[in-house]
C-alpha cells in the first residue's frame, strides 16, 4: 500500500504562504492538509474558503481539506468548488452522517470521515465502503503542536483489519517516531504540521514520516 504525507499548513508561516506551498512541493510531499475550524466544533478558528481558492490557483498539490466545523453539510459543496480534492468531516459534527456523506460523494471529490480520539472506530463501520479515506485523529482537534495520543492506535488497527485497502490517515503529533508507530498500526496517510515546518530539511523529515527511511 502506498504511503502519503500531507503537510498541515496550520504550522506554516501565514505571511509567506506561497513560499510555504513551494517548500512543500519541493520536498516531494504529496498533499497539503487544510484545517478548517469554526470556533464551535473546536475551540479555535483557522481559515476558510478564500484562502483555499487562493492556494488552489497556485498549486497542483492534492488539497486535503479537514473540516472541523459543525454541520459540515452546509459548506461541503463550497469547499469542493473552492478546489478541495479530498474532504473529511467529523462524525461527531454531523447530525446526519449518511446524508452529509451523500452530499460529499455527489461533489465527486474524495470522501473521508474523521473521528476524534474518544470516538470508537466502530462508528465508521457502516460507511467504510463509501469512503476513500478514514481519518483517525491522534490528538484532540483544534490546535497544532500537541502530543500524539498512543491509545488511538488500537482504532487504526481495528480499521485496518476491517478495511485492508482503505486509506487511513492519522493527524496530530506526527513526527518521525510517532509516524513509525502509526504506520505499524496500519496508517498509510500521515498528516504532519509542526514537525515538518520546523525541520531544517523538510524533504528528509517527510521521508522519515512517509517510510522511516531517508533514501
Given candidates 12, 23, 27, 35, which one binds ligand DX5 under the rule CB under 6 A?
Answer: 35
What is the rounded distance in angstroms from the CA atom of residue 50 to the CA atom of residue 187? Answer: 31
Pick out residues in 139-178 that bind Zn ion (CB under 5 A). 171
Residue 184 main-chain phi, psi, to 5 deg:
-60, -35
Interface residue with ligand DX5 among 23, 66, 116, 160 (CB under 6 A) is 66
Query: What Å distances lie between residue 43 and 68, 70, 144, 154, CA to CA?
Result: 10, 12, 12, 26
> What percent of the chain is helix, strand and coil (3-state, nearest 5)?
45, 20, 35
Angle ∠(48,50,55) on CA atoms, nearest 5: 95
Does position 146 bind ligand DX5 by CB under 6 A?
A: yes
38 binds Zn ion (CB under 5 A): no
Decide whether 8 or 207 has the Cβ nearer to Zn ion.
8
8 lines the binding site for ligand DX5 (CB under 6 A): yes
Judge whether 171 counts as a catalytic residue.
Answer: yes
Cα 71 → chain centroid:
18
Q: Which of 23, 56, 66, 90 binds Zn ion (CB under 5 A)?
A: 66
Total binding residues toward Zn ion, as defined by CB under 5 A: 3
Catalytic residue among 38, 64, 167, 171: 171
As given in the structure block, the three cell numbers for residue 68 are 472541523
Does 90 sit near Zn ion (CB under 5 A)? no
Contacting residue, 112, 173, 183, 202, with ligand DX5 by CB under 6 A = 173
CB of 63 to ligand DX5, least distance (A): 13
Instruction: State how far the Cα of 178 lies from the Cα of 199, in Å rounded to an integer.
Output: 15
Nearest residue to 127 (alpha-carbon basis) of 116, 141, 138, 112 = 112
Residue 8 or residue 100: which is nearer to ligand DX5 going by CB? 8
Cβ neighbours for 116, distance < 8 A, ≥ 6 positions apart: 90, 92, 137, 140, 141
Which one is catalytic: 13, 35, 102, 167? Answer: 35
- Single residue of 20, 35, 38, 167 touching Zn ion by CB under 5 A: 35
Grid coordinates belonging to 163: 478495511
Q: Which is nearer to Zn ion, 35 or 167 (CB)?
A: 35
Closest CA to 88 of 183, 3, 159, 189: 189
Query: Nearest residue to ligand DX5, using CB?
Result: 193
Catalytic center residues = 35, 171
Q: Which residue ranges make up the site for ligand DX5 (CB under 6 A)?
A: 8, 10-11, 33, 35, 66, 139, 141-146, 171-174, 191-195
Amino acid at each position: 500500500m502506498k504511503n502519503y504525507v500531507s503537510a498541515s499548513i496550520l504550522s506554516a508561516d501565514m505571511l509567506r504562504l506561497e513560499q510555504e506551498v513551494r517548500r512543500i512541493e519541493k520536498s516531494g510531499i504529496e498533499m497539503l492538509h487544510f484545517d478548517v475550524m469554526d470556533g464551535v466544533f473546536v475551540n479555535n478558528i483557522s481559515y476558510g474558503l478564500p484562502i483555499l481558492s487562493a492556494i488552489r490557483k497556485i498549486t497542483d498539490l492534492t488539497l486535503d481539506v479537514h473540516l472541523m466545523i459543525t454541520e459540515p453539510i452546509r459548506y461541503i459543496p463550497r469547499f469542493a468548488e473552492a478546489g478541495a480534492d479530498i474532504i473529511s468531516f467529523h462524525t461527531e459534527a454531523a447530525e446526519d452522517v449518511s446524508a452529509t456523506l451523500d452530499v460529499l460523494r455527489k461533489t465527486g471529490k474524495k470522501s473521508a470521515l474523521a473521528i476524534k480520539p474518544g470516538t470508537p472506530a466502530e462508528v465508521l463501520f457502516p460507511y467504510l465502503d463509501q469512503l476513500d479515506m478514514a481519518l483517525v485523529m491522534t490528538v484532540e482537534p483544534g490546535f497544532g503542536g500537541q502530543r500524539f495520543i498512543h491509545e488511538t492506535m488500537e482504532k487504526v488497527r481495528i480499521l485496518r483489519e476491517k478495511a485492508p485497502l482503505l486509506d487511513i490517515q492519522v493527524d496530530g503529533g506526527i513526527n518521525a517516531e510517532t509516524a513509525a508507530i502509526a504506520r505499524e498500526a496500519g496508517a498509510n496517510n500521515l498528516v504532519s504540521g509542526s514537525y515538518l515546518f520546523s525541520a531544517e530539511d523538510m524533504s528528509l523529515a517527510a521521508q522519515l514520516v512517509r517510510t522511516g527511511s531517508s533514501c
